[in-house]
Structure 1
């Protein structure tokens, strides 16, 4: 008797509804997280750290001591009372350089030592026979691409705006002094006095040409996270194949190993052990490709290798713990945790100070931020511990302990309750195992 043709799976509503719901949730979630974190950085900007250096020694003019640097600082602080986007940190030049060299500030505005002297020289009467023009006063804006290109750009714009506002205020005073001297100034001289300060922009912490303009740490961190997740997926499938839970297709042929009934705890331990071995290979190859082949600017190569291997291992072990606890949905959950929520809250492109509050909260525990800060320390800041490296290693250790505790606690609970992945045979224990063989794959 002929068998009836089976109904096409495409006619099953469950297939369309289930797949459609998962696709809808993923697309909506990624759109909200990725675009939501970056759509309005200037509107969300709060307390972007920028150093303010007042090295002005002051000057004597008209029988009194003038300290214009202090006036500039007072003007910036007054303007900041109504604008909380910038956190102006008044420090010495030496401290500013340290903070620039550790990524603690995104830039700096420097008032030089001779600022008052050069400004007052503009207002002093110049002998006609002297023929020597006074040195124009300057304010220096320092950028810091190593802390993030967008944050550095925001810092530079804010510092230049403050510098030009200070120049305009000083210009008004100079024009009043010139008018008091009852000397008619040419139009060109009046324009020069109205905006007397020259604003210069320079790199406060120069990077090498092959550092992706301060983004190489982020790209490297992203590679490590992706390698950890892909490695975990590979390990998960290969362990299941070796235990006979899955078959392997080689073109038109299918291979399946005899089923080995193994506890969930032991399966997870096997996967994590294999993940550690793969991490050594993957971390070494990532560094060899980026530093050896692509010639990425990097130092402390031994520390970078250890950091790369450890990051891949921790991300992979964390993913395996999610797979073991939640099964197939665990893969989606790992993608959300390590990518969807991690990238917009990493502070690698848009600074944390320009993110909405929700993403700032995520950044406190999301791994990509900690990984990126550790790599910035290794690649840009000479592996200084307080430049993010200590925080990165600490976070990595906490994540590893949490992943091990969670993964083994859940799998042990499943084993105790008899929730085995494949039911154990009861009466056919004497049945010989079917040897592994290659057979044509069926549709």
Structure 2
């Protein structure tokens, strides 16, 4: 029969960190009867000082991680990938003996002006840039068209010859599927770099036109450039901003994948805590409180390893149910879901991997596993996920953490499914393999530790009471 009493006496029942066989022996009494009375100083240390120290350290870690993550992305910018595509074939501009290629000049100027320690400017072809945009490997592209030099020459000639002309175009292409913050960085970099290049090209073009207008010796005076022509020549290039594959409605401007990943991680961590606590309560290892009362069931004769197997099984079944629930919620909210099967399977795999590892941590170190799981999966995971601020706009150590932190792997996998047509190169392949690796580590770690505890006879019992009896 379960023991039902008031919660004031709950601390008199022996509890433990994880499930296992309960040794038989003298009838269970309260810890007050068996354990020696603690000194006032020791009690104050355990009840007051120790929780304060733990919470302060946790707050310091939170403040460091989250403020460093968002305070100054421009200062932290490094290796931010942008493609530079120069398709310009050049032109003679009225002088076949001296062909020019303004596209090459602009490319060289951009490469020299863009800070190499902040921007990874990749000179590539249009086809390769398109492939990298499709897989989310670059955040944007600067595209110089094939007729750029020709149009620039026509603009120079049109400043003194009547007729309709069009300014040459450079396209600044953004990749909105990589996130709104990354798009803003691309726009800011493109505006700064292209404004300066435009000024230099304008000065060069003005000088060339003035040289062409210079009068021949003994000839008639040269015509003067009009004010409008000078203004046009000083700002000759038109920069067009274009979105590559704009996101549909219902994606939160590229944030839905991040929050979906956050949901999966929270269910994995919080779900492991709920499963761990509820199953331990039903097996009699911890009491369950109901307001001023609590219920403490008789301790079950079950090993730590078998208890962990039960918890793992519950986590696996629940993860699949929750994954289906998230899909239904997404459909109800009109969230675009082009690959429902892939989203369902990957979500379930991610929750199982996180939940199994979190349960193994609780089995290994008990209550302290709650804090360890919180730090590993949430506190360190959120800022290193790259879901809101790109990894390339955060301090360098976030990039190191992103190599193994679960939230980054889950976010990249979900982003590939939701925004990049379930493209493996966009992060899905890595996300799947990292989830399987995390699951394997969790299974091996939990099995080895729990079997070791069982082998050594380290059963669950009140440590203070056992020490006093010894």
Q: TM-score, normalised by structure 1?
A: 0.89
Q: Distance in 1 between matches of 2:245 and 2:71?
A: 28
Question: Is the CA contact 1:215–1:348 (under 8 Å) kept in the aligned structure 2?
Answer: yes
Unaligned segments of structure 2, at least 5 residues: 1-36, 215-222, 464-470
Assess, with a 3 A threshold, how the Cα gap between structure 1 residues 414 and 374 changes in structure 2: closer, same or farther.
Answer: same
SS in 2 for 1:337: helix
Q: TM-score, normalised by structure 2?
A: 0.84
Question: Is the CA contact 1:283–1:305 (under 8 Å) kept in the aligned structure 2?
Answer: yes
Question: Aligned pair 1:198/2:230, yes or no?
Answer: no
Assess, with a 3 A threshold, how the Cα gap between structure 1 residues 158 and 127 changes in structure 2: closer, same or farther.
Answer: closer
Question: Aligned pair 1:35/2:80, yes or no?
Answer: no
Q: Distance in 2 between matches of 1:99 and 1:22?
A: 45
Residues 231-380 of structure 1 aligned to structure 2 (within 5 Å) = 231-289=271-329, 291-380=330-419
**Shift in Å, 1:348:** 1.4
**Shift in Å, 1:215:** 1.2
Aligned to 2:103: 69
Question: Aligned pair 1:86/2:119, yes or no?
Answer: yes
**Shift in Å, 1:60:** 2.0
Question: Is the CA contact 1:150–1:351 (under 8 Å) kept in the aligned structure 2?
Answer: yes
**Shift in Å, 1:344:** 0.7
* 1:381 maps to which of 412, 415, 420: 420
SS in 2 for 1:65: coil
Aligned to 1:420: 459
Residues 372-411 of structure 1 aligned to structure 2 (within 5 Å) = 372-411=411-450
Aligned to 2:83: 51
* 1:116 maps to which of 149, 154, 158: 149
SS in 2 for 1:61: coil
Aligned to 1:166: 197
**Shift in Å, 1:309:** 1.1
Assess, with a 3 A threshold, how the Cα gap between structure 1 residues 259 and 389 changes in structure 2: closer, same or farther.
Answer: same
Q: Distance in 2 between matches of 1:393 and 1:115?
A: 44
Unaligned segments of structure 1, at least 5 residues: 1-5, 425-443
Q: Distance in 2 between matches of 1:208 and 1:32?
A: 35
Aligned to 1:153: 184
Aligned to 2:135: 102
Aligned to 2:259: 219
SS in 2 for 1:365: coil
Deviating more after overlay: 171-180 vs 247-256: 247-256
Aligned to 2:12: none
SS in 1 for 2:92: strand
SS in 1 for 2:246: coil
**Shift in Å, 1:127:** 6.9
SS in 2 for 1:201: strand
Q: Distance in 2 between matches of 1:45 and 1:193?
A: 34
Question: Is the CA contact 1:345–1:352 (under 8 Å) kept in the aligned structure 2?
Answer: yes
Q: Distance in 1 between matches of 2:47 and 2:120?
A: 53
Q: Distance in 2 between matches of 1:88 and 1:409?
A: 48
